Amino acid sequence: MNTQRWLSMSFFVFFFTWGIFLPYWTGWLTSAKGLSVTQASVVMGVGMIARSFSTFFLFPYATRNMSLLRVIRWTTFLSFILALAYLPESSFAILLGLTVLFSAIYPLILPSAESGASLLMQHERIHYGKSRSFGSIGYTVALLLIGTVTTIWSEQAILYMMIISLGVGLIFFFQSAPAVLQQHPIRGSAAPGGQLRALFANKTFVVVLCIATLLQGSHASYYNYGFIFLGEMGINGFYIGLILNIAVLFEIIFFTQADRLLSGAKTSTIFIVAAIGSTIRWISIFLFPVTSVFIATQTLHSVSFGMAHFAFIQYISKSVPHHLIASAQGVYAAVALSLSIAILTFPAGYLYDQSPRFAFLSMAVCSVSALILLLRIKQRIFHEIE
């Protein structure tokens, strides 16, 4: 088994499905299921809260009792079954309950894969950025494909593509995998509660997590309403897919070069650049809510998301003990990649109904807050790890 290749393909498989769920699911709920933007925001927001709790509590528990590979296999299987449950016509209450379940199970594949990457970085010195770039490629392919199929057929095709791609993922993950992922990576360590206490007792970890949370949370309006925002400008589904792919293209370029360019860079410096790029991105869309500016700001995704993500992964791979890596990934996925976006989805949805521009401006508040925090504590906190 070529470890680097397996990790690359696992990222590709998951992020292909993520390229369906993240940018299109809110739009699918409004177009195919007939929900209003506010109703869809509630469904997605509550779903992301469920996602944050499951990654915060369920994921560490699962990785303590099962190998990472078994966690990946079970979550993929259950996600496939839940996706099938979306097929019948459903009321708002059923869609809400189903989305809560789906959001609690399906995204657990991501911290499992990321935890596997961190372990492989420690054990076999694989190149994270190289494999992670395949995730971005998978996301890109999904955006293009969904943009095409929704143009040819209807938005209902979004669900069919999700079901098919989860089925393909299920087949892949039941193939052979690196041996370290089939072991119990945290066996013999403290219980999940003890691991969380150990993490949060580390002041540096808490500060780094807060910064990552602000920067990743600032993407809430983009993830939930970018597809709708472009659609309201009169752009058809195919071209929306192309526009959204610009962000992922630059993300791919970044991840393929990140290991080489940033291996010696300070974590604080990477975070600062991410915060500045994020602020520029959201303020630009607020000031100039036109297609050309939105397209131009897509190039900053490699900074606002890519650099913030790489900085956190760099921190835990260098500074977090082996037996706490899965818990650290679970906390990151729960708080930075889920809870922050879930919480911000509610005010962003309200602001979007008032004016889409204000939904994006509100995201700049998060990135500016992260930048201020970074500048204030850079010397006191980051000198411990740099």
CA-nearest of 143, 211, 236 to 377 is 211
Provide the pLDDT confidence category of residue 191 given band limits of 50, 70 and 90.
low
What span, in angstroms and rounded, lies between the C-alpha atoms of 78 and 103? 11
pLDDT tens readout for residues 56-111 = 788 878 887 888 889 999 999 999 999 999 999 888 999 999 999 999 999 899 88
Q: Which pair of structure tokens corresponds to residue 284?
A: 């630009």
Position 351 pLDDT exceeds 60: yes
Other Cβ atoms less than 10 A from the Cβ of 299: the count is: 16
- What residue type is assigned to position 107 of the chain? P
Q: What is the pLDDT of residue 187?
A: 47
Q: What is the pLDDT of residue 173?
A: 92
Provide the pLDDT confidence category of residue 381 given band limits of 50, 70 and 90.
low
Provide the pLDDT confidence category of residue 188 given band limits of 50, 70 and 90.
very low
Residues 6+ apart with CB under 8 A from 369: 214
pLDDT tens readout for residues 98-127 = 999 999 999 899 888 888 887 787 777 778
What span, in angstroms and rounded, lies between the C-alpha atoms of 161 and 292? 29
pLDDT tens readout for residues 260-302 = 888 778 888 999 999 999 999 999 999 999 999 999 999 999 9
Q: How far is CA 54 from CA 40, 303, 316, 331, 358, in A?
A: 21, 28, 21, 10, 31
Burial of 28 by CB count in 10 Å (0-12 exposed, 13-18 middle, 19+ buried)? buried
